[in-house]
Amino acid sequence: MLSVRSRRLVSLDKYDQPTSQNVRVLVSGNGRMGALVAQAVEQSEGFELAGQVGIEHVAVLDGTEGTLDGVDLVIDFTNKDMLPHLARYLRRHPAALVCGTTGFDEDDFADLDELAEQMPVLWSSNYSVGVALLKRLAREASGVLGAWDIEIVETHHNKKADAPSGTALSLLEAVDEQGSCEHIFGREGMLGERPQKQIAVHALRGGTVAGTHTVHFFGPDEEVALTHRATSRQIFVSGALAAALKLVGKPAGRYSFDELMFG
């Protein structure tokens, strides 16, 4: 029997029937973020933890082994290899999807778009309200300081698999909405003078940093830097649950974190 350990043992094929006001949640991911999400779901009013799955449980998601009843909501913080299996499960059991997995390519986003034809889907590289505000501020600053040199630096713990972070890429999109600049990732060698219409993204990895993002605007004899610093992963968990409550019950479609949180 597939199960999850948290404050109590919750089975995936025999779970308590939730009360009518509770949202039944399947947590995808059994790493650090998955554990935090599962714990928060159990401790939060309005949610019922139906189960937790990892990459070792894909046969259950695919429907080739065991059973997993439908749920109201799937919260996914895993890696890109999990998405095809979650998609197979959701096509059989449509539910709202809150996804915080990064490292997706165009095919992965196409899968999310396809799911969104049947159910409400939210993907965000970052579920911090502060980061959402940072993107707004960076977008506004680029409109005023667009002729300045722009650089983005992100720092994360040494266990993070993808680089640059999904948040850094979303900041890059925010400061260059028209796609008129050259985008590079790090620098090396004798490159000569920095081109004016170029934005570089730099990724630092080390220790236990939850996540720091800075957008630099370099002008003649002055600099403006916008920084968000996360001191705990809990902010991402809290943001994801807040967005989830707003997502459940929405019509099918793709939603953004900014849209749900800021209207």
Active site amino acids: 156, 160
Please choose, from the candidates 141, 154, 175, the residue with its C-alpha nearest in 3D space to the C-alpha of residue 183: 175
> Which residues, 6 or more positions from 49, have their beta carbon under 8 angstroms from its beta carbon?
4, 6, 10, 15, 25, 27, 38, 41, 42
The Cα 114–Cα 121 span in angstroms is 10
Q: Within 10 A of 115 (CB to CB), how many other CB atoms are there? A: 23
Token pair, residue 149, equals: 């040199």
